[in-house]
Every structure is written in structure tokens, then in C-alpha cells.
Amino acid sequence: MPKTDAGKWSIKCIIVFFALFAISQILVALGEREGDTFFANPLLAIIIILTGTSGALAFFTGFFRVTKQKEHSLLVYLSISLGFFITFFILSEIIIPH
């Protein structure tokens, strides 16, 4: 288990990421769809933005705690790795949209 508060926040952020991701998938399964623009469906857009933000925060808070405060929790390392892939996906979608 993490010993620092920021390490605990990193774990909480990744849990929130998975919860919000599940909510967005449930909404899509219930019929919520995107429109021509990202904000055509404001509810889905806000949930997706919060999902990505919590994943990126998990990466940054975990990474800085490992480098600055020498946090050595396996859960924080897992949170950092998942958060890295989430942040990489977000940046790649911004830089190279499809």
C-alpha cells in the first residue's frame, strides 16, 4: 500500500478512471451517441473528459511521488503504468486525430 498521500491519490485517480470509463460504456450501451462534434452530447463529453483527466492525474501524481518522495508501492507503479498509457492515448488523439 502507498505510504504518501499523493501515492494514495494516484490509486484513487485510477479507480475513478475505471468507474467513469464503465459509466461511459454503460451510457453508450443505453443509446447515448456522439454527434458530429465532440460536445454534441454534453453528458458523454463531460464524462469522457473527466475520465481522461483522472487517468492522466494518476500518472502524474504517482510519477512525481516515486521520483520525489521515493514511493515504492506496487499499486503506485501499476497506477503509473496505466496512467502513462492513458496519457499517451490522450496526447496521440490530440496530436493525430482521426
In the chain, the percentage of residues whose pLDDT exceeds 70 is 100
pTM of the model: 0.85
Residue 17 burial (CB count, 10 A): 23
- For the chain, the C-alpha Rg in angstroms (whole number) is 15
Predicted confidence at residue 2, as pLDDT, reads 78
- pLDDT tens per residue across span 35-79: 778 788 889 999 999 999 999 999 999 898 888 888 788 888 999
Quick check: helix, strand or coil at residue 45?
Answer: helix
Q: Where are the domains of the chain?
A: 5-95
- pLDDT beyond 90 at 88: yes
Determine the Cα–Cα distance for residues 44 and 33; give it in Å rounded to an integer. Answer: 8
